[in-house]
Amino acid sequence: MDAYGSAGEEKLLERLRAGDEEACEELVRRFGGKVFATIRGLLPRSEDAQDVVQETFLSAFRSIHAFRGGCLLSTWLHRIAVNAALMRLRSAAHHPETSIEELLPRFDGEGRHASFIAPWSLSPSEVVFRQETRKQVRVAIERLPASYRTVLILRDIEEFSTEETARLLSLTTTAVKVRLHRARLALRTLLEPIFISRPAHRLAQG
């Protein structure tokens, strides 16, 4: 988390529990940007993300007296944000999802790649963290079907464990691993036109 630290969060928590309106404003001001970034990764539409940010803070204010510690206030808020975003995704689950198959490698009858696979020094999950390419990567991630995009973001960006991701998405750990593998392969396909032609040392500099 930022330099605010656990001591600063504890004081803020005391003020929130006391109903201090300025403390509520401070919570939004200090963590609103990070909460939005988390939600925006899971929800492609900015309008949806903005709505869920509001839902996140309203939920936090309503349940602040139930917060018993055990983790940083910021960590608790982050989990509320993830859960709120996942709830929004579930509410839209009835919409047909695009297929991921066309983005996955194809193999011939003997199990070999059906087309040439260009060498790439970085995995898609590593490229996600390169500052100079973050916007292009975000656009590529948003092209993934929601069920795969969500797993990729929770595991590779939000750094939830396989078990935590499975619990949040009501999946088995095996399903999470399979979806993550397929999402990484698909993301690689989407990013190839951008990164294959670039020298590896430029990517490494970030």
Dihedral of CA 156/158/159/161: which sign? negative
Query: Does residue 162 have a pLDDT over 80?
Result: yes
Query: Does residue 134 have a pLDDT over 90?
Result: no
Q: Residue 107: helix, strand or coil by DSSP?
A: strand
CB 148 within 8 Å of CB 99: no
- Mean pLDDT of all residues in 78-95: 82
**Paired tokens of 2:** 């930022």
The whole-angstrom separation of Cα 198 and Cα 200 is 6
Domains, the chain, ordered by start: 5-91 (1.10.1740.10), 113-205 (1.10.10.10)
Confidence of residue 113 (pLDDT cuts 50, 70, 90): very low
pTM, full prediction: 0.67
Query: Does residue 144 have a pLDDT over 80?
Result: yes
Query: Does residue 24 have a pLDDT over 90?
Result: yes
Query: Does residue 199 have a pLDDT over 80?
Result: no
- Mean pLDDT of all residues in 105-110: 53
- Mean pLDDT of all residues in 98-115: 57
